[in-house]
Structure 1
Amino acid sequence: MAVDSQDTGRRLVPGPVPWVAMYHSVAPCQDDPYRITVTPERLETQLRWFHRRGLRAVSLAELLAARARGEGRDLIALTFDDGYADFVDNALPIMGRWDCGATLFVLPGRLGGSNAWDPRGPRKALLTADGIRHAAAEGVEIGSHGLTHLDLTKADDATLRAEVRDSRAALEELLGGPVAGFCYPYGTIDRRVVGAVRDAGYAYACAIDPGPLTGPYALPRVHVGQNDHAVRLFLKHRLHRLRRRPVGGSR
């Protein structure tokens, strides 16, 4: 579903923070030191659980647009970081069976490369430009994860601008349309980084646990991993509102 970026984070109605699930890779995960992988079987079980609870999984842009209208309390967002090639091979078919939307945050500076920023491995292939276009053609929202997966709080001003602005420009050229969302690599943020993302024209941005910076440019997310069976998902969803600050305006 296409969503106008002007309907997303800038006009959020104050209230509990939306429930946003954070995924990465969908593949066999015998060797997974960073806990970034869920198996296709586990993902299917998790999406089935959401469906049976009456929760509809959509892209983050769609969820935020609904919240801006005062709607969408039955919606959750699925986000996938890094742009692994296995998203197209493994996640998309499962999402199609459960009529799910999602947002995929990719790295246009590493197209067709690998997760070289993870020193302990294992190496995982990243999507090519054609793979990203294929995901977008299937209705997946594409967002920026920066150019190369740097901790932006440690970047100098020139590098920060390149990672934030140039990544958006590259994706908009690749897709032929606007890119509304940004996702901070490693989830690390500070006021300078949040300000750079806002000033670059994004409508919203995702973090992990942003604390006092929580808002449309620092949306918290819930990690969902291989060990998240029904009971753990229930607890994560139930406790989310108790752990998160309300979201108000964009400033």
Structure 2
Amino acid sequence: MVIDASEAHPTAGQDSGPVVRRRPRRGPAAWVAMYHSVADCTDDPFNVTVSADRLHRQLAWLRGRGLRGVSMRELLDARARGEERGLVGLTFDDGYADFLTTALPVLRRWQCGATVFPVVGRLGGENGWEPSGPCKRLLDANDIRLITAAGVEVGSHGLTHADLTRVPEDTLHAEVHHSRALLAEITGQEIQGFCYPYGSVDARVRAAVHAAGYRYACATAPDPEDAGDLALPRIHIGQADTGLRLEVKRRLARTWGRAVEAS
């Protein structure tokens, strides 16, 4: 929008002053929720599990405030059009089998989309990277095809859930490139998204993800100067997140540096 001071003060012969250009006002910056497993679980030392009832209540809270959960692909496409207002990215890390059996029916009930990031080298196995806590089954290749057919976006979480900032170059290349190729073969789709295991990312890892051809990558809480489409911040959502806690997290998303800013 252009504001001309001469229109505000129409005095003949008077200098109208500089033209002030202001960026169009946008709605609140979008944010991304980070989930993991959806199941009934009392032994959860890493706070990665929410019950189906809690997920139901959280999605009801979103929809009751005019918000809708979507995949990262849909969120970024909407952002490119300047239409991200009212959208919240929903991501599910690790690719637990309970996404298909438990989370997906709840998402469908509330007409929400999501992105799942499976650990590609462990499909059909268990979460062996967890030093303690319950063993949980992971999605297998056929499960991946089923959720893809249901409209769920699938992205890569690497091959083994390794901290990529600590692996040698050949391992990093395999974790990033090979996992993308395997998922593309399973889904028959281009894999656009990557999710850094443990949220760990540095310049070397980010460069490898860029070189592999990913459109975006999800982190957890990157440094503000490092945040961007290859290090998108997210907000962890757990079993304790009632409507009140979600409202606080929503309002503080930009303050915490956890908002997906307009490009």
**Is the contact made by 1:46 and 1:229 (CA closer than 8 Å) also made in structure 2?**
yes
Residue 176 of structure 1: how far off its partner (Å): 1.0
One of 122, 125, 141 as aligned partner of 1:129: 141
Structure 1 residues 23-44: Cα deviation after superposition (integer angstroms, max 9, x where no partner): 0000012000000000000000
Aligned pair 1:231/2:244, yes or no?
A: yes
Structure 1 residues 33-72: Cα deviation after superposition (integer angstroms, max 9, x where no partner): 0000000000000000000010011101100110011112
> Distance between the aligned counterparts of 2:252 and 2:188, measured in 1?
39
**Is the contact made by 2:30 and 2:84 (CA closer than 8 Å) also made in structure 1?**
no
> Distance between the aligned counterparts of 1:97 and 1:146, measured in 2?
30
Counterpart position of 1:4 = none
One of 201, 213, 221 as aligned partner of 2:234: 221
Aligned pair 1:103/2:98, yes or no?
A: no
Aligned pair 1:209/2:221, yes or no?
A: yes
Residue 18 of structure 1: how far off its partner (Å): 2.8
Higher relative contact order (CA 8 A, sep 6+): 1
One of 37, 41, 59 as aligned partner of 2:53: 41
Structure 1 residues 96-126: Cα deviation after superposition (integer angstroms, max 9, x where no partner): 1000000000112001000000010210000
One of 183, 189, 192 as aligned partner of 2:201: 189
Any idea what SS the aligned residue of 2:158 has?
A: coil
Give the aligned length: 236
> Distance between the aligned counterparts of 1:136 and 1:246, measured in 2?
24
Gaps of 5+ in 1: 1-13
One of 184, 187, 212 as aligned partner of 1:172: 184
Any idea what SS the aligned residue of 1:213 has?
A: coil
Give the root-mean-square deviation of aligned CA atoms: 1.5
> Distance between the aligned counterparts of 2:236 and 2:122, measured in 1?
24
Deviates more, 1:43-52 or 1:237-246: 237-246
Residue 191 of structure 1: how far off its partner (Å): 0.5
Structure 1 residues 168-225: Cα deviation after superposition (integer angstroms, max 9, x where no partner): 0000011111000000000011000011001110000000001121000000000000
**Is the contact made by 1:16 and 1:246 (CA closer than 8 Å) also made in structure 2?**
no
**Is the contact made by 1:15 and 1:246 (CA closer than 8 Å) also made in structure 2?**
no
Which of 1 and 2 has greater Rg? 2
Counterpart position of 1:90 = 102
**Is the contact made by 2:93 and 2:118 (CA closer than 8 Å) also made in structure 1?**
yes
Gaps of 5+ in 2: 1-25
Any idea what SS the aligned residue of 2:244 has?
A: helix
One of 146, 153, 157 as aligned partner of 1:145: 157
Residue 15 of structure 1: how far off its partner (Å): 9.4
> Distance between the aligned counterparts of 1:99 and 1:16, measured in 2?
22
Aligned pair 1:53/2:65, yes or no?
A: yes
AA at the equivalent of 1:222: I
TM-score, with length taken from structure 1: 0.91
> Distance between the aligned counterparts of 1:15 and 1:159, measured in 2?
41
> Distance between the aligned counterparts of 2:27 and 2:204, measured in 1?
25
Any idea what SS the aligned residue of 2:255 has?
A: helix
Structure-2 change in CA distance of 1:165 and 1:130 (3 Å): same
Residue 16 of structure 1: how far off its partner (Å): 6.9
> Distance between the aligned counterparts of 1:183 and 1:177, measured in 2?
17
Counterpart position of 1:158 = 170
Q: Percent identity?
A: 57
AA at the equivalent of 2:246: L
**Structure having the larger proportion of residues in helix:** 1
